Amino acid sequence: MKKNLFILITSFLFCLSMSGCSINKKSEVNNKKSLLVSFTVLEDIVRNIVGEEFEVSSITKPGMEVHGYQTTPSDLKRGAKAILFIDNGFGFELWAEKFVSNLEVERVTIANNLDPIFINEDAYKGKPNPHAWISPKRGKVYIDILLKELSSLQPDKSQIFQSNANKYKNKLNKIDEDFSLFINSLEKSEKFLVSCEGAFSYLTNDYGMNEAYLWPINAESQITPKRMARVINLVKENNVPAVFCESTVNSESQLTVARESGAVFGGNLFVDSLSDKDGPASSYLDLLTHNLNLIKKAFRPSTKN
Ligand SMILES: [Zn+2]
């Protein structure tokens, strides 16, 4: 009996000193409830609010084109394990309806609580522009919406979520101020943001700029000679100093616009997807800062970040 007790105690102590005992800890981690999000920008915002309280993962990966993504069987498996699916809406994730129709999962769609800006060209005329997060001012609305939804999902953690959201929003406020300061410093004729995708309507609207683009939505990144000529003329007529493209599409057409109009090609802005960890836009706040710095540099080459 004594011997058995000795073995029991020794093996307990042995177990404590070895990594084998971390099995319990590990399963605790794996027992976290899982939130599935449609794209990486939203994933980062959600994670900043919930901290370590949930597992948060995104269907689409950094750098991916999101609009026309095709879901896979492994996405469905992840969907089946998740307690909540969060998407942007306004037609951003063309695949989302079909995806959730195969699952029994709660869903939060940010767009249900957002005021849209409508696309006013081409086949998309009259449809809401989905890219609201691209304006720091609307990013704060995303935080408010998510805080409310996530707090009602897990009321006992609502204070933690509130405190995380406040800290996060303060950082976003700073970026909002930086955007305002810079854009207010531009001449009226310079307040033109020319991009590949028409993804900057919320930014240009919220900060008093004009917008021009080669195609309204990345799902249809076709450029017609007529539209190309129109953008080239617009850049020339307004002396727009620089034009931009986005990280998830080919920038060839915009390089042609730059060549033909004499404007500088300012580089690739990030919109639909974060960069990977080593890239310049690996978080939502970095994405906004990267975009602002790129615009600053192209419009005011002597400006330091
Ligand atoms: Zn897009």
- Say what the pLDDT of residue 11 is: 46
249 alpha carbon to ligand 1 midpoint, in Å? Answer: 10
Cα(271)–Cα(286) distance, integer angstroms: 11
240 alpha carbon to ligand 1 midpoint, in Å? Answer: 23
- Say what the pLDDT of residue 16 is: 43
Cα(76)–Cα(100) distance, integer angstroms: 9
218 alpha carbon to ligand 1 midpoint, in Å? Answer: 5
**How would you write the pLDDT of the chain (305 residues) with one tens digit per residue?**
444 544 444 444 444 444 444 444 444 456 899 999 999 999 999 999 999 999 999 999 999 989 999 999 999 999 999 999 999 999 999 999 999 999 999 999 999 999 999 998 777 889 999 999 999 999 999 999 999 999 999 999 999 999 999 999 999 999 999 999 999 999 887 899 999 989 999 999 999 999 999 988 776 656 788 889 999 999 999 999 999 999 888 899 999 999 999 999 999 999 999 999 999 999 999 999 999 999 999 998 876 55
174 alpha carbon to ligand 1 midpoint, in Å? Answer: 25
40 alpha carbon to ligand 1 midpoint, in Å? Answer: 13
Cα(180)–Cα(275) distance, integer angstroms: 25
- pTM to 2 decimal places: 0.87
- Say what the pLDDT of residue 26 is: 43
Cα(285)–Cα(293) distance, integer angstroms: 12
- Say what the pLDDT of residue 31 is: 82
| Inter-residue contact 108 to 50 (CB < 8 Å) | no
Residues with Cβ < 8 Å from 297, sequence gap 6 or more? Answer: 266, 303, 305
135 alpha carbon to ligand 1 midpoint, in Å? Answer: 14
32 alpha carbon to ligand 1 midpoint, in Å? Answer: 31
Q: What phi-psi label fits residue 50: left (phi over 0), alpha (psi between -120 and 50 degrees) or beta?
A: alpha
> What domains can you pick out in the chain, each with its CATH number?
186-299 (3.40.50.1980)
